[in-house]
Amino acid sequence: MIREVLRMGDPRLLERAREVDVFGTPGLAGLIADMRDTMKHLNGAGLAAPQIGVGLRVVIFGGGPSPRYPDAAAVPDTVLINPVLMPVTREEEGGWEGCLSVPGLRGWVPRWTQLRYMGFDADGAPIDRYATGFHARVVQHECDHLDGILYPMRVRDFSRFGYTEVLFPDGSMAGDD
């Protein structure tokens, strides 16, 4: 079922989400199905459970390259629960981000270039991966939602934060995620 995505200003987006402690339940499967439906409907690259008002540490991401992110080397379609992120280096790079909870805007956000992430899938099977580039960026963006952090809070240079259609009048970055 497609769910309403909360927008910035809603206090539920600022809370720390709770760990999932039981896997493989119908409730968890239903949540993930709703998140997939909602992300697909909005052509998103990722979605976190708090964005649909569910305060659990569940994120999904993937979908591969899109017109918006043509350089998005295949990001695996992933359900990641109770994630832990660790930078491989402290090196950062900037990149444009948007968010379904911050529609119409884009910002230039520094993120770790390489990280290891761990967590569990919907059945409780462990996930342990290294990610770079856009994959690493998406993971960091989505997992930030679990700690109540929206990407504008990470913007350091506010000369590179604004309305998508003004920043990118050629339409190359149309869309909200």
Would you say 47 or 81 has its CB closer to Ni ion?
Answer: 47
Smallest separation, CB 59 to Ni ion (Å): 9
Tokens describing residue 120: 């569990």
- Catalytic: which of 4, 19, 91, 142? 142
The reply to whether 91 belongs to the active site is no
Would you say 23 or 103 has its CB closer to Ni ion?
Answer: 103
Subset of residues 34 to 63 that bind Ni ion, contact rule: CB under 5 A? none
Smallest separation, CB 96 to Ni ion (Å): 13
Residue 43 near residue 25, CB atoms below 8 Å: no
Binding segment toward Ni ion, per CB under 5 A, in 22-30, 57-65, 99-107, 166-174 = 99-107
Give the CA angle between residues 139, 121, 126 to the nearest 5°: 95
Tokens describing residue 151: 């990407």
The verdict on 138 binding Ni ion (CB under 5 A) reads no
Binding segment toward Ni ion, per CB under 5 A, in 67-75, 82-90, 95-103, 162-170 = 95-103
Per DSSP, the three-state class of 83 is strand
Give the total residue count for the chain.
177
The verdict on 99 binding Ni ion (CB under 5 A) reads yes
Nearest residue to Ni ion on Cβ basis: 99
Residue 152 near residue 102, CB atoms below 8 Å: yes
Distance (Å, rounded) from C-alpha 101 to C-alpha 133?
Answer: 22
Would you say 99 or 115 has its CB closer to Ni ion?
Answer: 99
Instruction: From 78, 33, 38, 87, select the one nearest 59 (Cα to Cα).
Output: 78
The verdict on 143 binding Ni ion (CB under 5 A) reads no
Residues designated catalytic? 142
